[in-house]
A = this chain, B = another copy of it.
């Protein structure tokens, strides 16, 4: 047993952390204020601040770019993309880096490590044809374009994929897409150029062979972003979450990923590392929130004492510290298991962190909000938006209940 990170991981984590602290955090409030001002009438809140592209350039030039890219692809892409190909990190090596990025809402995109682009890039890397990669993966790796993932539907309980109503029907050399998707994160971004769509191709096929994933250019005729959704009042500009309708959208069958009816295969491979990333970022968020909470609680007094030492606050802060530490270890362990191969234990571990971490983060952020008083609910601090992000994560990529069910099923399996 050795809990030390590898030297490579430690060094990159440190560099990312410094970059976040010295380059990103100082400009982040200004970027948020700017979006808010534009939303209140001074312009289009969806146009990204030019600061973002500048910081991306800087991060890229320092080799802090595409670090999420899995080890197995590093060699290959290193040749073509240089640092754009990432550092060839294992999941366990990348985990603390993702935490470092997660402490800021803005940081992931600066390092080209933001969801859903990371997941989409991984899909293209693993399952894309040479042409698909050329067309979409390369500009994603350079952040020239952005992408979205269209899976959840407004009209059905999408946690059960067999409920999915949207269709991807083969018609000669084409595939024809119909249906409505929502919570398509990223479609609000002006650079969003491609959607990975999942729909039913053969409703009669085996439960896991019905669905197909298709690459759809966002400007294909019949694609409409009907509206952008808020989550608890936040649009999350400049990415946002959209409701997208597909009305007889026709694209060549060569846009299909892996092959008709093979969407589940792709989804399975895509989600493990993605959930580790999500969870590690959530831990970064929780850690940052606890820091803000403790600093605030040490800096203000009431009834003749620092807030930190008043009533149950110190015990609650201790509980938050315990909660973060144990969750971090659980995610590190899940990342390490994924690196060993996709065992049942790894499947369980990924579902375990998906339940544990967002709930833990919510409690810690909530405490930090409470320690800030009313200020914690405003946008003077990143806590309110952090809470909303963590709350959304209890639903995104499968609600808690579905993941608990995965864990339970594997547990029951031990005794059969």
Contact = CB atoms under 8 A, between A and B. Distances in A.
Interface string A139-166: 0000000000000101011111001000
A22 B1 CA distance: 28
A301 interface: yes
Given A231-B384, A301-B157, A408 B352 contact: no
Given A1-B4, A388-B233, A308 B370 contact: no
B352 A373 contact: no
Contacts of A230: 233, 377-379, 384
Contact of A405 (B229, B315, B329, B384): B315
Interface stretch (A69-77, A277-285, A392-400): A392-400
A322 B414 CA distance: 15
B160 A315 contact: no
Interface in A306-343: 307-308, 310-319, 321-322, 325-327, 329-330, 332-333, 336-337
Interface string A274-314: 00000000000000001100110010111100011011111
A310 B312 CA distance: 9
Contacts of A392: 374, 377
Given A336-B3, A405-B315, A321 B307 contact: no
Interface of A: 1-6, 9, 39-41, 92-93, 152, 154, 156-160, 163, 182-183, 229-234, 290-291, 294-295, 298, 300-303, 307-308, 310-319, 321-322, 325-327, 329-330, 332-333, 336-337, 348-349, 351-352, 355-356, 369-370, 373-379, 384-385, 387-388, 391-392, 394-396, 399-401, 403-409, 411-412, 414-416
